[in-house]
Amino acid sequence: MKHIYSKKNRALLAELVRTDFKLRYQGSVLGYAWSLLRPLLLFAILYVVFVKVFPLGKGVPHYPVYLLLGLVMWNFFLEMTTQSLGSIVLRGDLIRKIRIPRWIIVLSASISALINLFLNLIVVMVFLFLNHVDLLMTTLWLPLIIIEVYILALGCSLWLAAGYVKYRDLNYIWEVIMQLGFYVTPIIYPMTRITSLTVKKLLLLNPMGQAVQDARYAVVTHGTTITKGVFSGGWYTYIPYIITIVVFITGLLYFKSQAKTFAENI
C-alpha cells in the first residue's frame, strides 16, 4: 500500500473514476443531472409512502430529513459495496493484460460512490433548509461519521471484490444480506418505535445502525437515539467501531492474499 500516493497511481485512480462517471450517464439526455435528480425522485416516493401514507415517524421532529439522511447514508454503503463487488471481475481485461495495483480498481469504485454521496448530501442540505431545521454545531461531526462508514464499506468491498473472483454466488448472497441489512438498520422506522431495550441495543451494535443514528443526531435532531443513550457507557459502545476496524483489516489482508491470482482466476 506504500505506493498509494505515487504520482502514477494517483493519475490512474483519477482517470478510472473519471471514466466511471462519464460512463454512468452515457447516452442519457439529462446526463449528470441524474446524479441529483435520481436521489430527489427516490426520496419523493419514500416521502409520500412513509410520511403521508404510513406515518411511521410521528413525533420525530423533521422526520422527512431524518428519513432522507438515513437513506443517503445507507445508499452510500449499499452502492459502494455492490459496485466494488463486481469491480475486479468487470475490469478483468485490465487485470489480465497489465500490471496495475489491484486495489486501485476497488478504490476507484469506492470514490465513485463517495462522489455520489456528496451529491446526495447536497440534496439533504436542501431539505434541511426547506424543513427549517436549525443548523446544529454537531454537523461538523458528519465527516467523521462518513469516514467510519467509508472504512466499513471499504472493508466489505475488499472482501467482496476479491471473493467474487472465485465465488460468483456472492452477488446474490450480498443482495440478500443488504436487503436484510436495510431492515435491521433503523432507516425507515425511528428508534422510538422500538419498545424493547435489548432490541434497541442490538440494532445499535450494528455499525451502520450506529452511524446512521449518529449522523441524524449530529445533523437533524439531538432527539435521536444514539449508542450512548441505550448503553450506560462501558466498552459495549465501542463494538461498532471494533467491527468496522476488524472488517477493514481482515478485508485488506484477504484482498492482498488473493490479488496475486486475480489474473488467472477471472
Partner 1 sequence: MENNSERLAIKVDQVSKQFKLPHEKVTSLKSIFINFYRRRRTFEVQEALKNVSFDVKEGEFFAIVGRNGSGKSTLLKLLAGIYVPNNGSVTVNGRLTPFIELGVGFNMELTGRENVFLNGSLLGFNRKEMEAMYDDIVDFAELRRFMDQKLKNYSSGMQVRLAFSIAIRAKGDILLIDEVLAVGDADFQRKSLKYFKQLKKEKKTVVFVSHDMVSVQEFCDRGILIEDGVIKAAGNATQIAREYTLMFENSHLDSDTKGYRNRDPDERPGNGNVRITGVAIDVNKQEIDIKVDAKVNKDVSELIYGLMVMGEDGREITGFNNRSLKRPNLTHLKSGSEIKFNWKIQNIFKSGEYSLTLSLVSTQSRYDDFVDAGFFKVNKEKHSNTAVLPEVSVKHTIT
Task: Compute the least distance from the CB of residue 156 to partner 1, in Å.
Answer: 22
Task: Compute the least distance from the CB of residue 245 to partner 1, in Å.
Answer: 29
Closest of 164, 196, 175, 179 to residue 95, by C-alpha: 164
Is 173 a binder of partner 1 (CB under 8 A)? no
Task: Compute the least distance from the CB of residue 169 to partner 1, in Å.
Answer: 9
Cβ closest to partner 1, residue 24 vs residue 38: 24
C-alpha cell of residue 113 = 460512490
Cβ closest to partner 1, residue 27 vs residue 233: 27
Side-chain half-sphere CA neighbours of 98 within 13 A? 8
Site for partner 1, residues 15 to 74, rule: CB under 8 A: 15-16, 19, 22-23, 26-27
C-alpha cell of residue 142 = 458528519
Site for partner 1, residues 71 to 130, rule: CB under 8 A: 93-100
What is the C-alpha to C-alpha distance for residues 111 and 21, in angstroms, rounded to an integer? 10
Give Cβ neighbours of residue 160 (< 8 Å, ≥ 6 apart): 81, 84, 85, 170, 174
Q: Are 193 and 60 in contact (CB under 8 A)?
A: no
Cβ closest to partner 1, residue 13 vs residue 226: 13
Task: Compute the least distance from the CB of residue 27 to partner 1, in Å.
Answer: 8
Task: Compute the least distance from the CB of residue 93 to partner 1, in Å.
Answer: 7
Amino acid 114 reads L
Task: Compute the least distance from the CB of residue 205 to partner 1, in Å.
Answer: 30
Binding piece for partner 1, criterion CB under 8 A, among 53-61, 194-202, 220-228, 257-265:
257-265
Is 178 a binder of partner 1 (CB under 8 A)? no
Task: Compute the least distance from the CB of residue 95 to partner 1, in Å.
Answer: 8
Closest of 96, 205, 214 to residue 148, by C-alpha: 214
Site for partner 1, residues 3 to 22, rule: CB under 8 A: 7-8, 10-12, 14-16, 19, 22
CA angle 191, 193, 195 (to 5 degrees): 95
Is 263 a binder of partner 1 (CB under 8 A)? yes
Q: Is 62 left (phi over 0), alpha (psi -120 to 50) or beta?
A: left
Cβ closest to partner 1, residue 134 vs residue 264: 264
What is the C-alpha to C-alpha distance for residues 112 and 25, in angstroms, rounded to an integer? 13
What is the C-alpha to C-alpha distance for residues 209 and 235, in angstroms, rounded to an integer? 17
* Cα first-last separation, the chain: 23
Cβ closest to partner 1, residue 228 vs residue 260: 260
Cβ closest to partner 1, residue 3 vs residue 222: 3
Cβ closest to partner 1, residue 81 vs residue 110: 110
207-219 vs 142-166: helix axis angle to the nearest 10?
A: 150
**Which residues here bind partner 1, judged by CB under 8 A?**
7-8, 10-12, 14-16, 19, 22-23, 26-27, 93-100, 260-261, 263-264
